[in-house]
Amino acid sequence: MSERKTFKMDFDGRDLIVETGEMAKQAAGAVLIRYEDTAVLSVSAVGKQPSTAGFFPLMVLYTEKMYAAGKIPGGFLKREGRPSDNETLTSRLIDRPIRPLFPKGFKYDLQLINTVMSANTDYTPEMTAMIGSSLALGISDIPFMGPIAGVNVGRVDGKLVVNPTKAQKELSDITLTVAGTKKAINMVESHAKIVNETDMLDAILFGHEWIKKICAFQEEIIAEVGKEKVEYTLKTIDEELTTEVSNLIKAELVKAVSIEEKLARGVAISELTNKAVATFEENNQGMDKDDLRSLLNDVKGVCSQIVQDEMRRAISEDKIRPDGRGLDELRALESKIDIFTRTHGSAMFTRGQTQALALTTLGSLSEHKKIDGMDEMQKKTFMLHYNFPQYSVGETGRYVGAGRREIGHGMLGERALRQVMPNEEDFPYTVRVVSEVLESNGSSSQATICAGSMSLMAAGVPIKAPVAGIAMGLIKEGDFYSILTDIQGMEDHYGDMDFKVAGTKDGITALQMDIKIDGLSRDILFEALEQARIARLQILDNMNSIIDAGRKEVSDFAPKVRLMNIDPDKIRDVIGPGGKQITKIIESCNDVKIDIEQDGRVTIMHTNNEDIDKAIAIITDIIRVAKVGEVYNGKVVRVEKFGCFVELWKGTDGLCHISKLDHSRVNKVEDICNFGDIISVKVIGIDDRGRIDLSRKDTLPKPKVEKKPFVKAPEVKKVEVKKEEVKEEVKVEAPKTDEK
């Protein structure tokens, strides 16, 4: 029998309810967490034996089931397929704040599975799953140094809002996800409509206040139902082995760390590591194969630790980085545009040994991406895709579809640039940017943003302002820390922070932070943001020297677009029966592309403006409506005894009756006009069947009436007759008639 327990928290006027002890009881830990009518089942499971992998094998999954939103999946199979971008991004979002909070050396296979059972997107399933993941670990016997929590933060009308609804998000100028423990923040993901660093920091700290409350709520639950933590075997390296490897190779490795060029440094470190491995392999030939493999992995681990310690020491004590730069110094910058002719826009951005080539393609609005998730169907008219081939780091490997890293980096770049994109009315295109990372030594996602921004401008996209990105790092030893500008691969791998900031000269458009330590204070965050702002302005200066605004015209090879609006009732006339009319228009205009929306918005696209103008003229004629009182120059298309029919424009004609041809009497229509003549007519009436009455007479000047000369009438004399002069009264009687 289950021992179901329920815990409840008032989360800013909304109920956050946790249920344990009833579902998935064989897992290490399981909770059903409800946030109003959103519900997520979060489960943790751990392997029985340590993994032989050289890394921490943590897998975090976030799965959106269509039944959660009362929908049936599309496609032939009618079941959920590969993870959507949102599922992948949310899985990464949960992984990032949790991963640093396990003991060093914990190498057991660990899985966190989050299944959305009921979804109301106004009550974020993503953050619900993050809280559920923390609790699934917290109540288990797994050694987790949590709890953690995450919240969304928005800003509507200048006021910060926790977990904003969909309606509030549309009005918000900040979209922020922040996660951490009750002591510090350890993960940030954000995009914003060009806000300054202080406002962004205030939003982060506002979110942390709510994180503290949620963590305290979790601690109460863990204290009541949590299992006792089991002593797991932690992977450690024997101190004697560490000493032996250090005596053998440390001096040479320390020297190799100071090699400035990445590939040369990497080769030197690799050769020295292989030398140490070969030495210990030769000295332990009689050892069991599994034990020998473990020993050699430990040797590699010691070599890696030596490299890490030396890099961190040089930065902390000598203030010198592996490539010889100062802490706040950028690598060499180079910006180029118009790399190719036939592409609609192209640009390449190089920062040291990191190089990104971005290519922009313009398409019709109908080519938007459809997103079918738990929410309503959405369309996306701006996309950025990021590709990271193996050759960019001088290696070989498998080539498959985009992985979590590619999707995550691409979305970061997309969010950064989306804030400066024009709306559909001003630029009616679907826009796709593809970043090909040609060379990488850290910060390739930020190089993508720089190259993408220039590529958009080169393609003629009227973005609001150029955008640049920079990645910041951190080396923290006790109370002392060093913030690094423009980190390279080694500093990312062995450092404590990867803090990416993108924006314009006026403010931030996107931000992402991951740390490997417990958390960051407000002072470190503020200093990192300010140092990033200074570096961003330097990069923008380099980019702006090549191109600083979108070109006035798109490429000759890009489609040109014109918009027009028609009465929705006229859509059927433009399309015609069976689509014959619109097909005829397309064919007569050299395969012009025409998209008609239900609201009457028509998008016409072609590489040739003349074909667009021709299509617009045809559609305009189809939808035109004659108006009483207007005058048209029309062509006589039929002559009858009673009048003539005049074509006002193609497909629309009216009758001009013979009596309306002229002010004077007309005996024959042909006396005035013949077939093919162009005459001016005025619309004098339209009946209820749409028949048009025309008048030529009303367009003609009225004939002048000849005036006769004025003749004065003769004077009439008045004669007075006296009464006495009347002799007799004359009587006149009416004649008698038969009454019948």
pLDDT tens digit sequence for 255-280 = 999 888 888 998 999 999 999 999 99
In whole angstroms, what is the distance from residue 84 CA to residue 494 CA? Answer: 31
> What is the token pair recorded at 55?
């890394």
Per the CB < 8 A criterion, the answer to whether 602 and 558 are in contact is: no
Beta-bridge partners for 484: 473
pLDDT tens digit sequence for 457-500 = 999 999 999 999 999 999 988 888 999 999 998 999 899 899 99
The pairing of beta strand 468-477 with beta strand 382-387: unpaired
pLDDT tens digit sequence for 273-313 = 999 999 998 888 878 888 888 888 889 989 999 999 999 99
pLDDT at 261: 87
Answer yes or no: is pLDDT of 617 > 80. Answer: yes
Per the CB < 8 A criterion, the answer to whether 174 and 162 are in contact is: no
Average predicted confidence (pLDDT) for the chain:
90
- Residue 585 is which amino acid? I
> Of all residues in the chain, what percent carry a pLDDT higher than 70?
95
CA 326 to centroid of chain Cα atoms: 36
Instruction: Write down the residue that tokens 């990069």 correspond to.
Output: 539
Number of H helices, E strands in the chain: 14, 29
252 vs 519: which has the higher pLDDT: 252
Nearest to 221 by CA among 450, 18, 508, 522: 18
What is this structure's pTM? 0.83
What are φ and ψ of residue 453, in 5° steps? -60, -45
DSSP state of 285: T
Three-state secondary structure call for residue 68: helix
pLDDT at 635: 94
Cβ neighbours of residue 739 closer than 8 Å, sequence gap 6 or more: none
Per the CB < 8 A criterion, the answer to whether 166 and 122 are in contact is: yes
Three-state secondary structure call for residue 12: coil
Cβ neighbours of residue 652 closer than 8 Å, sequence gap 6 or more: 621, 624, 626, 692
Answer yes or no: is pLDDT of 735 > 80. Answer: no
pLDDT at 289: 82
pLDDT at 740: 44
- The class level of CATH for 333-544 reads alpha beta
- Domain range 239-318, its CATH number among 1.10.10.400, 1.10.540.10, 3.30.70.1020, 1.10.10.10: 1.10.10.400
- The class level of CATH for 631-699 reads mainly beta
63 vs 146: which has the higher pLDDT: 63
Element (H, E) at 160: strand 159-162
Q: Packing angle between helix 289-313 and helix 262-283, nearest 10 degrees?
A: 140
DSSP state of 76: S
Question: Does 333-544 match 5-225 at the fold level?
Answer: yes
pLDDT at 343: 94
pLDDT at 146: 83
pLDDT tens digit sequence for 95-111 = 999 999 999 889 899 99
- The class level of CATH for 560-623 reads alpha beta
pLDDT at 172: 95
- Residue 474 is which amino acid? L
Fold for 5-225, please state it: Ribosomal Protein S5; domain 2 (3.30.230)
556 vs 90: which has the higher pLDDT: 90
384 vs 322: which has the higher pLDDT: 384
Per the CB < 8 A criterion, the answer to whether 693 and 654 are in contact is: yes
Answer yes or no: is pLDDT of 447 > 50. Answer: yes
Answer yes or no: is pLDDT of 728 > 60. Answer: no
Nearest to 636 by CA among 664, 589, 672: 672
**Maximum Cα–Cα distance across the chain:** 176
Instruction: Enumerate the domain spans of the chain.
Output: 5-225, 239-318, 333-544, 560-623, 631-699
Window from 71-75, 129-133, 163-167 with minimum mean pLDDT = 71-75
Answer yes or no: is pLDDT of 379 > 90. Answer: no
In whole angstroms, what is the distance from residue 88 CA to residue 386 CA? Answer: 15
pLDDT at 734: 53
pLDDT at 338: 95
Average pLDDT over residues 398-415: 89
Assign 403 a pLDDT band (cuts: 50, 70, 90). Answer: confident
